[in-house]
Structure 1
Amino acid sequence: MTTSSSSPTVDHAPRDPADGRWTPRLVLILIALAWPTQLLAAGGILGANAIAGVAQAFHTTQVVWFGLTLTLVSTLLTPFVIKLGDLYGKRRVMLAMTALGALGELLAALAGSFWLVLAGRAIAGFYGPFGALSFAAVRDVFPARLVKQASGVMGSSVGLVAIVSPFLAGWLIDTWGYRGVLWFLAAATAVAFALIALLVPETPRHAFGSRLDWPGGLVLGGGLTAVVYALGQGQS
């Protein structure tokens, strides 16, 4: 008689044979996860600097929605993204997120009306919860001894991104206007997609066989979204 494992995990990510030591493969995986994670911080700073250009280009007083739309979509989707990563593997979900993120920023960069810009930003919001998966993926992919180090590198590099991003935003806006920011975000997100596709292995499916709790996700994500919306409309 054969017995099956009590763990529901399948599709295990291959561990590096040099368990506990940094290898070129692990360094590349860390870069592939860190790039799109830090792009979230850079995108927030770049987007904030582009708001004035968007308002001037479309002569709108509703420019607050340029950033708020992306934030609301990201907040609403976060519970679903985390669960989908457990159901189908984090790599698959991250690829879908980065593809939609690049598509959304591209649409916003090409848009000829403010409402199309907002539609593009809403689609780009699917990329927003990426950080919720990337740090979890580190625990699945890296040897146990390196998880804290890898997570620390990803977290501490936010400071460097915060220093560089305002200068990058100024150069992009001065040279190409707000569209330069959106084109850069679209290209950078496309690079993130390529890095994940080429370097990141699939992670275990921890919730294999379970179902997505749509009501629970809507209650949690919707509640958080309502709070974010209230904060975004704080002045009124």
Structure 2
Amino acid sequence: MSVNVDASPVPPDPPAEENVTGRLEGASKARVFTILAVIVLFSEVVPLQYSMVSTAVQKVGMDFPSAGDNVSWMIIILGLVGGATTPILGKLADLLGKKLVLFSCSIAFLAGSLICALTHSWAMFLVGRGLEATAFAMAAIAAGLIRDLMPRKYVPLSIGVIATGFGVSALASPFLAGWLTDHWSWRSIFWFLTIYMLVLIPVFWLVVPETKLKVHQKLDWIGSVLVGAGAALALVYLSNGQQWGWGRFTAYIYLVGGIVLLVAFYQWELRAPEPIMDPKLLRTPRVSIVLAIGLFSNMIIGVQAYAVAYMAQIDKQVVDNGVIQGFAAQSGTSPDILRQALVFDGDLGYALGFSLMALAVHITAWQAIPGMFSGPAAGEWGKRKGLRQPYLVAMVVMTLTMVMYALWHGSWVQLLIISIIYGIAFGMYYGAANNLIVEAVPQEQQGIGASMLGLTQSFGSAVGTAILTAIVSAHPYQVIAPSATGGPPTTVDIPQVYTDQGWTMVFWAMAAAGLVCVVLAWIMRAGRTPATGGTLH
């Protein structure tokens, strides 16, 4: 007789005495949803700061001229430090208490924001950003705290809410960042984040109770160092490979070193007396398939966020005029003459010339709205029919939107319609994925389980961005200048401006990644019975 151990079993009858976590089963709805709201607002600071600060990279770079081309490290360091520390902090949350570790992350974030707001040193600015990045674990830990505290019937819905938030980050941040930087400077963003946390930290400490569930186990420091260092080295390669050269030996050292350490981590965990996460659990399809889909789906998510904003802000007239003025300054030739002599090669039909505010008004704000509802809806759908259904629908729709982006991206109306559809899939994916981890892992390993999902999602975003960079860099917008001596014309690549063909190929590549997700979601056995709020395993 064969038994399928991966298919979701029939939900068991709850034991007579199951409230070992401090679950708020007898609490009023007002208290339950107040606690949920505080946790969501608390953890939403991570996507809030990411979306606000990423819009100000150019302005920050102007105040730190010594940074040069390394100004992108203010974003890279988030994935680097966040990816390295998330599994460790997730495990510490299982051991010491989720509220305590969330509080510690918030203090680190507060200190980092204050340093960034005050410092005039590029090195100290990166230290501040690194401290902010430790808060990347907050979303995973908050999901575990919700699993422990919320009444079982509210867990799938609550996980869906925390997955997409209340829209503060996605909906408000573009307008807020534009208003702050227009009226003051980029430093006002970090002052806002400082004030945000100063207000929420005491509210969180007073309102949200600590879980009673604390695993009596020593932290596996060797495993923690191996997974943290391995993730960091691999993410450094993925983040800088294009700039360094993907095939350079010095770049390969980071990739090979990261892979070796991650393999060593897995081998160590097989033998460790108290592993950071049970390797057998990582191998089970109910976990491994969700992690694999997390990798490929976040390739799409990272690329969509980058590509749509980048394309919409390119202004062909500004680009062409800037090139003409540059040639005029170098040659001493009149710009009017150069306008006739220079030939621009490449299609920029996608270029809309939007400012950040125009981008928010026309596209990104509308994309955010459906996700605020589809995330909780996915949790409720999963509670009634099983999480695989919304998960599969999310992957199918996300894949179709990549095909739509590849075919139609020449007007803001096209981008708006596609982005709204994408927003539905975005929220549904996160609502289902986080709930699937809740259903797949024991409550004693919820923190590290959700953190491993966060780690694979970070890798997916980095891989997707690396693929994007490699493709568009091979399709630069160019200018052909005639020779002053009668020789052959000179073709010059225009920096950081890419042709329509390059962006189209990027979206087709992401559609292929989406197809992998669809196949994996189709074959997965987990999530085919109604979600229980974490009682299956």
Q: TM-score, normalised by structure 1?
A: 0.87
Structure 1: distance between partners of 2:218 and 2:178: 46
Q: CA 1:219–1:130 in 2, change beyond 3 Å: closer, same or farther? A: same
2:49 counterpart of 1:63: no
Greater Rg by CA? 2
- The one of 212, 219, 228 equivalent to 2:219 is 212
Q: What SS does the corresponding residue of 2:56 show, helix, strand or coil?
A: helix
2:147 counterpart of 1:139: yes
- The one of 104, 125, 130 equivalent to 2:112 is 104
**What is the number of residues matched between the two proteins?**
224
Q: CA 1:73–1:156 in 2, change beyond 3 Å: closer, same or farther? A: closer
Structure 1: distance between partners of 2:88 and 2:164: 27
- Per-residue deviation, residues 66-104 of structure 1 (Å, max 9, x unmatched): 122232111111111111111111011111110111011
Segments of 5+ residues of structure 2 without an aligned counterpart are 1-16, 244-537
Matching residue of 1:49: 55
Structure 2: distance between partners of 1:190 and 1:227: 34
Matching residue of 1:185: 193
Structure 2: distance between partners of 1:146 and 1:32: 16
Measured after TM superposition, the shift of residue 228 of structure 1 is: 2.1
2:31 counterpart of 1:25: yes
For the 8 Å contact 2:51–2:173, the answer to whether it is kept is: yes
Measured after TM superposition, the shift of residue 175 of structure 1 is: 1.6
Matches within 5 A, 1:54-93: 54-59=60-65, 60-61=67-68, 62-93=70-101
Q: What SS does the corresponding residue of 1:207 show, helix, strand or coil?
A: coil
Higher relative contact order (CA 8 A, sep 6+): 1
Measured after TM superposition, the shift of residue 160 of structure 1 is: 6.0
Structure 1: distance between partners of 2:147 and 2:95: 16
Matching residue of 2:131: 123
- The one of 198, 206, 226 equivalent to 2:233 is 226
For the 8 Å contact 1:86–1:204, the answer to whether it is kept is: no
**Percent pairwise identity:** 30
Structure 2: distance between partners of 1:97 and 1:111: 21
For the 8 Å contact 2:109–2:133, the answer to whether it is kept is: yes
Measured after TM superposition, the shift of residue 189 of structure 1 is: 2.3
The alignment's C-alpha RMSD in Å is 2.0
Measured after TM superposition, the shift of residue 107 of structure 1 is: 0.9
- Letter matched to residue 181 of structure 1: I
Matching residue of 1:4: none
For the 8 Å contact 2:113–2:129, the answer to whether it is kept is: yes
For the 8 Å contact 1:86–1:206, the answer to whether it is kept is: yes
Deviates more, 1:99-108 or 1:188-197: 188-197
Matching residue of 2:44: 38
